[in-house]
């Protein structure tokens, strides 16, 4: 069944979030703060693994060893300009606020801000990464859902920890995951296999940089508008193709 992987992923996020909210209400504020800090540091570790794709041999063979970092830089600049003009971050927060009004009975501004924070941060973390992209494409191509099954398990445990700290907004991120991964699956059904290993590496490395921005938000170091940088994930593989034409 095409799309089953995403359905499983969405389900684990919802179930994990329910468990996390129940546990979170029983934890004191200082404990939830420690959990949040731990998650922020873990996201930094995941980001480091993704950024290591800068040394991916297939990507280096395609564009040259000196071009990989420049491609990520170019993708971030071009994608950031496009995203800021499209006001993606603001739209994500507005959507999160709309969901909060639908799902929450409380009107307190703190509750609203916490919901939006949980929704936006969890959505970015669950949607940025090679498993989300490759798994969705593999599902659409009929190759299998093993990657999305692995991602579903990881996201399920992560959503428990996130929801314990950030509340119901984490569960709402399942909507963003469903839309994002479902769209990629549909694209794969009609477009076929079009991403090369080099293009995937460019997306992975660029996503790693974006995850650093998410980690900085979680750790309350700097509120980076990571949503506005999301177009960089599209720009990176395009730049890889363009640079490859000159190198070849």
DSSP state of 195: -
Q: Of 147, 79, 124, 94, which Cα lies nearest the Cα of 217?
A: 124
> Would you state the pLDDT for residue 109?
47
Is residue 106 left, alpha or beta, with left meaning phi > 0 and alpha meaning psi from -120 to 50?
beta
Reduce the DSSP state of residue 1 to 3 states and report it: coil
Total number of domains constituting the chain: 1
Distances (CA, A) of 239 to 76, 244, 245, 246: 11, 8, 10, 11
Show the DSSP H helices in 28-145 as ranges.
29-51, 57-63, 68-86, 88-103, 109-127, 130-141
Domain interval for residue 50: 4-247
For 211, list phi and psi in degrees, rounded to 5. Answer: -65, -30
* Interatomic CA distance for residues 199 and 231, integer angstroms: 15
Per-residue pLDDT of the chain (248 residues; tens, 9 = 90+): 788 999 999 999 999 999 999 888 787 878 878 888 888 898 899 889 889 999 999 999 999 988 999 999 999 999 999 999 999 999 988 988 888 877 766 555 447 788 888 899 899 989 887 788 888 988 887 878 888 998 999 899 889 988 988 888 999 999 999 999 999 899 888 876 677 889 989 988 998 999 899 899 888 898 889 999 999 989 999 999 999 998 86
């Amino acid at each position: 069944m095409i799309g089953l992987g995403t359905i499983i992923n969405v389900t684990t996020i919802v179930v994990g979030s329910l468990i996390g909210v129940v546990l979170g209400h029983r934890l004191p504020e200082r404990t939830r703060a420690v959990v949040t800090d731990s998650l922020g540091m873990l996201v930094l570790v995941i980001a480091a693994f993704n950024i290591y794709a800068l040394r991916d041999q297939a990507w280096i063979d395609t564009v040259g060893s000196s071009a990989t970092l420049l491609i990520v830089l170019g993708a971030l600049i071009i994608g950031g300009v496009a995203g800021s003009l499209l006001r993606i971050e603001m739209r994500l927060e507005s959507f999160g606020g709309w969901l909060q009004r639908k799902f929450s009975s409380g009107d307190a501004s703190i509750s609203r801000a916490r919901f939006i924070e949980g929704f936006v941060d969890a959505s970015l973390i669950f949607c940025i990464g090679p498993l989300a992209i490759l798994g969705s494409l593999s599902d659409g191509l009929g190759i299998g859902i093993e990657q999305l099954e692995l991602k579903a398990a990881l996201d399920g445990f992560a959503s428990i920890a996130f929801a314990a700290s950030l509340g119901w907004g984490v569960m709402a991120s399942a909507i963003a995951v469903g839309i994002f991964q479902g769209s990629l699956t549909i694209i794969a059904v009609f477009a076929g296999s079009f991403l090369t290993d080099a293009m995937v590496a460019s997306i992975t490395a660029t996503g790693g940089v974006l995850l650093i921005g998410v980690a900085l938000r979680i750790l309350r170091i700097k509120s980076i508008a990571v949503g506005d940088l999301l177009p960089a994930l599209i720009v990176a593989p395009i730049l890889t193709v363009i640079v490859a034409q000159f190198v070849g």
